Amino acid sequence: MTSFAETDAWDPPVLAGRLVVLRRHRAEDLGPILRWYADPEVARLTRYSVRPMTDEEVRRYFETRLLSPGALAYGIHERGTDRLIGLTTFSSLDPENGSVLFHITIGEHDRWGHGYGTEATELMLRLAFERFGLHRVGLSVFSFNERAIRSYTKAGFVVEGRLRDAIARDGRWWDEVQMGILRDEWLAAHAMPARTGG
Ligand SMILES: CC(C)(COP(=O)(O)OP(=O)(O)OC[C@H]1O[C@@H](n2cnc3c(N)ncnc32)[C@H](O)[C@@H]1OP(=O)(O)O)[C@@H](O)C(=O)NCCC(=O)NCCS
């Protein structure tokens, strides 16, 4: 039986926006991804441990979670240059409850704060709600990551809760912030007719 994510109809090879193009990963994406995950600032913003992932861990993650045929994972390419600048994935897909978790990393520092992350997030939300017909997309983010929280808020996520003092970083405690967006909220914001049975 064909799995949920194995057909192009459900999981298109390319999602094109105004600023970025999302493409399924190719083997040559590994080089930049190894460099991003070796970056202490990326680790600080995205990981409970400040220790960056080892090359071996990144290779395994790339093979199993990014490159594999059923992976709900895309490289983020700058439109125009086609430069690979980041990656975005869904994890914990739960078709029965219509939910999934969202993740994004723009790995190239010089591309932070130019609107790329917000647009990539919106492209993934369109995929989740308008193609997959999901009900809910959730994420978690450290409370010190104000750029990410701002970007997620612009894309339509709202704060749903906080794990208080869940992370020690830079000499103090910070919350892990839980954010989410529901299908009706996305459709209302994007003026799509609501589907039934989704
Ligand atoms: C988080 C991330 C995806 C956001 O993408 P981005 O392209 O940098 O973000 P955008 O440019 O679309 O939007 C950022 C917004 O935050 C604002 N911002 C930037 N730095 C900020 C800061 N220090 N504090 C508050 N807001 C900030 C920007 O002004 C912009 O808002 P505006 O359009 O209203 O002016 C990207 O920065 C990234 O991947 N960072 C490294 C890894 C990471 O943090 N991943 C998320 C883990 S949960």
What pLDDT, on a 0 to 100 scale, did the predictor assign at position 3? 47
What pLDDT, on a 0 to 100 scale, did the predictor assign at position 102? 98
CATH number for the domain running over 14-189: 3.40.630.30
- Residue minimizing CA distance to atom 48 of ligand 1: 141
Q: Residue 19: which of 102, 87, 114 has the closest Cα?
A: 114
- Segment 71-98 mean pLDDT: 97
Does the CB atom of residue 151 touch ligand 1 within 6 A?
yes
pTM of the predicted protein model:
0.94
Does the CB atom of residue 118 touch ligand 1 within 6 A?
yes
- Residue minimizing CA distance to atom 35 of ligand 1: 113
Single-letter amino acid, residue 65: R
Contact 118, 154 (CB under 8 A): yes
For the chain, domain boundaries: 14-189
Per-residue pLDDT reduced to its tens digit, 144-198: 999 999 999 999 999 999 999 999 999 999 999 999 999 999 999 997 655 554 4
Any residues with CB less than 8 A from the CB of 171 and at least 6 apart, and which?
A: none
Does the CB atom of residue 120 touch ligand 1 within 6 A?
no
Task: Tell me the two tokens of residue 74.
Answer: 């895309």
